[in-house]
Amino acid sequence: MTRFDHDYYHRYYGPAGVHAPEQVGHLATAVHAMAAWWGVEIHSMLDVGAGLGMWRDWYRRHHPAVHTLSIDISEHACRTWGHEQRDITTWRPERSYDLVVCHSVLQYVADEGVATAVEHLADATECVLYLEAPTTADLAHVVDPQRTDMEVHHRSGEWYRALLGQWFQQVGAGLWVKRGTVPMFELEAAAP
């Protein structure tokens, strides 16, 4: 796959990029702390479609005892930032991870592969999933088209919720918990 090459990462993760390590650090800090609040200890994390590997690097720096694995479909990303080269639509993880991160990846996965990709995310997730994928409404009204790759699959939030809801309960702010793991108070999460 050549789409995710040097120019792609330079364009979207250069100085005017979509997000930088410092911002991901704020997010990772919050996600790790929310998991702790729920009583979930993060001993292992999987970064799916890791790109520059900002989540993995945050864990290695701040929680070096956490086992990390980062995967990406891009040969360039794997060679440059040290991931295993995997396609989440075809790679079924052999074990589960306390935290799975899938940050800005599913919009690249074609309709025919996305259900399998989400099934693989569910297989990989022991407890907590952090997921961000821009929806049709986000692409029309929320994202900055100058800084965001608009050549992606446009799907509604309802569509993603129906798919993810088979395995996960949506908590909010990108957080989902695997069904049957963390009991949520009624007002803490979306309806189960």
Ligand X SMILES: C[S@@+](CC[C@H](N)C(=O)[O-])C[C@H]1O[C@@H](n2cnc3c(N)ncnc32)[C@H](O)[C@@H]1O
Q: Which residues of 2-31 are buried (b: 16+ CB within 10 A; e: fewer)?
A: eebeeebbeebbeeeeebeeeebbebbeeb
CB of 180 to ligand X, least distance (A): 26
CA dist., res. 99 & res. 80, Å (int): 24
Which residues make up the interface to ligand X (CB under 6 A)? 4, 49-52, 54, 72-74, 77, 87-89, 103-105, 108-109
Residue closer to ligand X by CB (options 86, 178) is 86
Residue closer to ligand X by CB (options 147, 179) is 147
Residue closer to ligand X by CB (options 144, 186) is 144
The token pair that represents 57 in the structure block: 């690097």
Residue closer to ligand X by CB (options 32, 103) is 103
CA dist., res. 151 & res. 59, Å (int): 30
CB of 104 to ligand X, least distance (A): 4
The region, left, alpha or beta by phi > 0 then psi within -120 to 50, assigned to residue 39 is left
Number of neighbouring beta carbons within 10 Å of residue 145: 9
CB of 67 to ligand X, least distance (A): 19
CB of 28 to ligand X, least distance (A): 11
CB of 172 to ligand X, least distance (A): 19
Residue closer to ligand X by CB (options 79, 179) is 79
The token pair that represents 52 in the structure block: 């520059």
Going by the DSSP 8-state scheme, the letter that residue 179 receives in this structure is T
Question: Which H or E run contains 22?
Answer: helix 21-37
